[in-house]
Amino acid sequence: MSDPVVHARMTQLMLDEKKLTEEKAKLIEEVPVWERRVGLAKQKGMHDLAAEAEQRVVEVKTRIKEIELKLETLEMDKDMLRYESRRPSGREVERAEAMLDQVRLGGLVDPDRMDKELDETAFDFNEED
Tell me: the pLDDT tens digits for 80-120?
998 888 876 667 777 777 777 777 676 566 667 777 777 77
* DSSP per-residue letters across 34-100: HHHHHHHHHHTT-HHHHHHHHHHHHHHHHHHHHHHHHHHHHHHHHHHHHHHHHSPPHHHHHHHHHHH
Same domain, yes or no: 101 and 45: no
Which domain, by its residues, includes 56?
4-87
Mean pLDDT of the chain: 85
pLDDT band at 124 (very low <50, low <70, confident <90, very high): low
Same domain, yes or no: 76 and 102: no
**pLDDT above 70 as % of the chain:** 84
- Number of domains composing the chain: 2
Query: pTM of this prediction?
Result: 0.64
Burial code of 53-67, b = ≥16 C-beta within 10 A, e = fewer?
Answer: bbebbeebeeebeeb
**Do 38 and 54 form a contact (C-beta atoms < 8 A)?**
yes
Longest Cα–Cα distance of the chain, Å, equals 92
Same domain, yes or no: 66 and 105: no
Same domain, yes or no: 50 and 110: no
Residue 39 has pLDDT above 80, yes or no: yes
Q: Is residue 126 part of a domain?
A: no
Q: Is residue 71 part of a domain?
A: yes
Q: What is the mean pLDDT of residues 6-20?
A: 94
